[in-house]
Amino acid sequence: MKYHESRVQVRFNEVDQWGVVWYANYFAYIEVARSEVLAKVGLLPDVLSSLGYTAPIINLTANYKSSARFHDELVVQISLVPQKVAKLVFTFRIIQAESGVLVMEGESTQVLLNKKGFMVYTLAGELAEKIGNLQTYFKEDGENVIP
């Protein structure tokens, strides 16, 4: 399974009084990577909205392994887990660029809701095409594979 890789640098306003990245800021780093991927396939939130859907996150897990600090460069790796129903499950991990130390790993699940707020279980039309493109992006062979 292929992953998408983004790089972020820890800014001063993202650390606590001990100089460690405040735990919730890691989710912002993951969002950078997820947004880059969704932009590649034309599925950013405004497009999803124009198609008549929303995609709230209904589950999020995070396992912290190490700390990141001010000015660290971090590598955010994200991948899509294939699903049989209409939902998006991303796995992610954050690694310190210089040392290769794993900082955090986890998974997020988004469901698709129509304009009335009901869950969508099967895909159709332009939404199916765009999510198909997203799945194809992660199926391509490449060197970057999450074990």
Task: Please write the tens of the pLDDT for every residue from 71-111.
Answer: 999 999 999 998 888 899 999 999 999 999 999 999 999 99
Residue with the bigger pLDDT between 105 and 140: it is 105
Say what angle helices 25-40 and 125-139 make with each other, to 10 degrees. Answer: 110
Q: Is 105 inside any structural domain?
A: yes
- Residue 49, domain CATH: 3.10.129.10
Q: Which domain holds residue 114?
A: 4-139
Residue 145 lies in a domain: no
**Looking at residue 49, what is its pLDDT?**
93
pTM of the predicted model as reported, rounded to 2 decimal places: 0.88
Confidence band of 145 (pLDDT split at 50, 70, 90) = very low
Residue 20 · residue 66 · CB < 8 Å: no
Asked if residue 121 is part of any domain, the answer here is yes
**74 vs 132, more confident:** 74
Let me know if residue 123 belongs to a domain: yes
Is residue 146 situated within a structural domain?
Answer: no
pLDDT value, residue 146: 42
Whether the predicted pLDDT of 59 surpasses 60: yes
Give 24's contacts (C-beta < 8 A, 6+ positions apart). Answer: none
Structure tokens at 41: 């396939």
Q: Which two tokens stand for residue 113?
A: 């809701």
Count structural domains, the chain: 1
Residue 144 falls within a domain, yes or no?
no
